[in-house]
Amino acid sequence: MSNTTSKLDSIAQAKAKLLDELQKLEEQEKTERASEASSAHATIVSLLEQFAGHFNTKQRNDIAAYLGTTAARKDVVKSGRSEVKPKYELPHTGETWSGRGRTPKAFAAWEGSVSYKEWKAKNPDLKFPLVRE
C-alpha cells in the first residue's frame, strides 16, 4: 500500500510542477501576444494612413467587419425625415401626438369621454387640445 501511496504522491508532485510550468508558459504567451499586437497595430495604422484614402466602400466595410464595427458610409444619403413635434396633448395624461397618422388609442378613448365633450364645447374649432409651450 505504501508503494501505491508513494507513486500517487510522485504523480501529484509531477502534476503540480507541470501545472505551474503551464501557468508560466501561458503568462509568457500572453505577454508575447500583447507585444506582437502592439507592433501589428503600429503597422496597420501606418498602412491605413498611406492607403485609407484609396479604399472603396466595399474595402472600408470589409475592414470595419474585422473590427466588429460599421464603416461610415459616404455614399449613403441620410433621409430627409426629421422628428415631428407634437401638436396635440391630452390634458389629463400629458400624452402627445403629432396629428399625423392614425389617432392613438388614448386620444380615441378620450374623444368619447365626458371631459372631451366639455372641452369640445369650449373649443369647437379644434379637434384636440394643442400642446402647451
Q: Indicate the domain borders of the chain.
A: 2-67, 78-133
The string of pLDDT tens digits covering residues 68-99 is 876 555 555 666 777 888 999 988 888 999 99
Phi then psi for 121, rounded to 5 degrees? -65, -35
pTM: 0.39
Dihedral (CA of 29, 31, 34, 38) sign? negative
Q: How would you write the pLDDT of the chain (133 residues) with one tens digit per residue?
A: 678 888 899 999 999 999 999 999 999 999 999 999 889 888 988 888 888 888 888 888 888 888 787 655 555 566 677 788 899 998 888 899 999 999 999 989 998 899 999 999 999 998 899 988 6
Alpha helices, H only, 1-133: 2-51, 57-67, 105-111, 114-122
